[in-house]
Homo-oligomer: A and B are copies of this chain.
Amino acid sequence: MNNACELLDLAAVCAYLKKQDNLLVLTHASPDGDTLGSAYALKLGLQKLGKRVQVICCDEIPHKYDYFMFDDGCDFVPEAVVAVDVADIKLLGDIYAQFEGKIDLNIDHHISNTMYAKRLYLDPTAAACAECIFEILTELRVELDKDIANALYTGISTDTGCFKYSNVTVRTHEIAAKLYKIGIDAAKINQAMFDTKSKNRLYMEKMVLDQAEFHFNDRCMLLTVTTEMQEKSGCTGSELEGVAVISRSVEGVLAGVSIKQVGPHKFKVSLRTYEPLDASEICKKLGGGGHRAAAGCTLEGSLSEVKTELLSVVGQALEECDAGSYTDK
């Protein structure tokens, strides 16, 4: 925690943004619908106020987000750097060192936020960072058009599993209703985000299911996507995502673990949990973080070492939950 981090309320973050004319907006690496939807909605909204804004992401952005990716180059010198949906500066990816100590404003909804920026607008009750952006643009009296609304809806829809998860609130549906009034392409967006997979992806899912493991009386399901499976199926990049959702789909499973090999001895782990388990607590023990129902970490070692390490921490959490001591923490 950085003591120099100033916490801003809605009025203060809006006052700060009003004063800036040239902004750089940063998303996290391996960009998802929320970080991108938030960044582009903020960009499009601030442009309506006459500001110049550029969005930067260290990774390639999947084409499925093309419908709100309005990029018009950067013909200005950025004066303020804003990170959206980035809980920890390291999540900026390869570019993080370049921005260390230089993030002027962080807009986020992760309770695990490390307060790395000079200013922070944090609303942990927001289901998506896009909810924060909606509030900010509304407070700034930006008239939301269809492009902005599509970007905001994408953030909200993707971060809530299409209004499915426990992070959804009254406000989430109220905002969705307002975005529908603007005339968003919700069904198309949801089709692209949730119901569109390639044939390669289908083939990979079959392989993943073939190797599914169950542990701790079927309360933990473990799925693995090895480099070999990635090559065999032809799946790359964002096509490899979403395996975590499968891992929490089986009856009785409290902890759904998915392991994706990202190097010879490096694995990205996604954890999805149901009450009373806390995915964020479990992943913190492994050097990661996230939300209560969805968190992640990166582990090094052989696949079997990584599995052992993971299962030990998950098993301990399940034991504590059996003993009734878990929820008291």
Residue-wise, chain A 205-219 has the 8 Å CB interface mask toward B (1 for contact) of 110011010100010
When chains A and B are docked, how far (Å) is the Cα of A195 from the Cα of B162? Answer: 12
How far, in whole Å, are A198 and B171 apart by their CA atoms in the complex?
33
- A191 sits at the interface (CB 8 A): yes
* Contact status A168-B186, CB under 8 Å: yes
Report A312 CB to chain B, min CB distance, Å. Answer: 24
Instruction: Please give the distance in Å from A40's CB to the nearest CB on chain B.
Output: 22
Q: Does A250 contact B (CB under 8 A)?
A: yes
Choose among B177, B206, B248 the residue that contacts A210 (Cβ–Cβ < 8 A).
B206
Copy count, this protein chain: 2
Interface residues on A, range: 35 or more
Given the complex of chains A and B, what is the CA–CA distance between A326 and B157 in angstroms? 31
What chain B residues lie within 8 Å of A206 (beta carbons)? 206, 209-210
Closest CB-CB distance, A221 to chain B, in whole Å? 9
Known contacts A173-B174, A177-B177, A209-B206; is-contact A195 B163 (Cβ 8 Å) = no
B-facing mask of A155-176, CB < 8 A → 1, else 0? 0000001111110111101101
- A173-B177, A209-B205 given as contacts; is B274 within 8 A of A191 (CB)? yes
Structural contact, B170 and A180, CB atoms closer than 8 A:
yes
A164 interface neighbour in B169, B177, B190, B251, Cβ under 8 Å: B190
How far apart are the CA atoms of A212 and B202 in the complex, in Å? 10
**Inter-subunit contact B177/A170 (CB<8 Å):** yes
Contact B173 A169 (CB under 8 A): no
In the complex, A19 has a CB within 8 A of chain B: no
Contact B168 A251 (CB under 8 A): no
Contact for A250 among B165, B190, B197, CB less than 8 A: B197
With A165-B187, A187-B164 given, is the CB distance from A199 to B218 under 8 Å?
yes
Q: Which of A174, A177, A195, A202 has the most CB of B within 10 A?
A: A195
B164, A198: Cβ atoms closer than 8 Å: no
Taking CB as reference atom, which chain B residue is nearest A167?
A: B187
Q: Which chain B residue has the least Cβ–Cβ distance from A174?
A: B177
Contacting pair B187 A180 (CB below 8 A): no
Whole-angstrom CA separation of A186 from B187 in the bound complex: 21
CA distance A181 to B251 in the complex (A): 28
Listed in ascending order, the chain A residues whose CB lies under 8 Å from chain B are: 161-166, 168-171, 173-174, 176-177, 180-181, 186-187, 190-191, 194-199, 202, 205-206, 209-210, 212, 214, 218, 245, 248-251, 274
A-B contact pairs, 18 of them (CB 8 A): A162-B164, A163-B190, A164-B190, A164-B191, A164-B194, A164-B195, A165-B190, A166-B186, A168-B180, A168-B186, A169-B180, A170-B180, A170-B181, A196-B250, A197-B249, A199-B214, A202-B249, A205-B209
